[in-house]
Amino acid sequence: MEKEFNLVILTPEGKQFDENVFSVNVRTRTGYVTILAHHADLISTLRICNISIIGIHLQHEIYAVGTGIIKFQNNKLVILTDWSKKNEANADPIELRKNKINQEVKENDKELSYDNMSVLIEEEIKHLKD
């Protein structure tokens, strides 16, 4: 029996990860779940978190992901999320998201004041923690 399965991480920017792996630990709305090959079919909401991936060569990778959904079926795990970033330092995913939003605001929308955006970011962070 195969001990690996395919993991795909998709964001609006495209495919962020597509490899065979041994295990994935991810945070859902009801708590953390570890997916192994031939796991029961699963669909769940995804919470902002660091996901832990053990690859087929036993390398350990961390990806920060935002909210979204996960689906495991036919030995394939698909993570659909609003953002994803390789997180080699195992940093707080909420801080990474906050930094990305701050960067996007500074680059893309000079007309909005930084103070107004700070309030919006704090509201988004509160929503993500709920």
Give the domain extent around 34: 5-86
Q: Can you give the pTM of this predicted structure?
A: 0.78
Residues 111 and 56 in one domain: no
CATH of the domain at 18: 2.60.15.10
DSSP-based helix, strand, coil % in the chain, nearest 5: 25, 45, 30
Residues 53 and 25 in one domain: yes
- pLDDT tens digits in sequence order for the chain, 130 residues long: 589 999 999 999 999 999 999 999 999 989 999 999 999 999 999 999 999 999 988 899 999 999 999 999 999 999 999 999 998 888 888 888 888 877 777 776 655 566 666 777 777 777 766 6
Question: Taking CA 90 as the corner, what is the angle to CA 102 and CA 94, rounded to the nearest 5 degrees?
Answer: 35
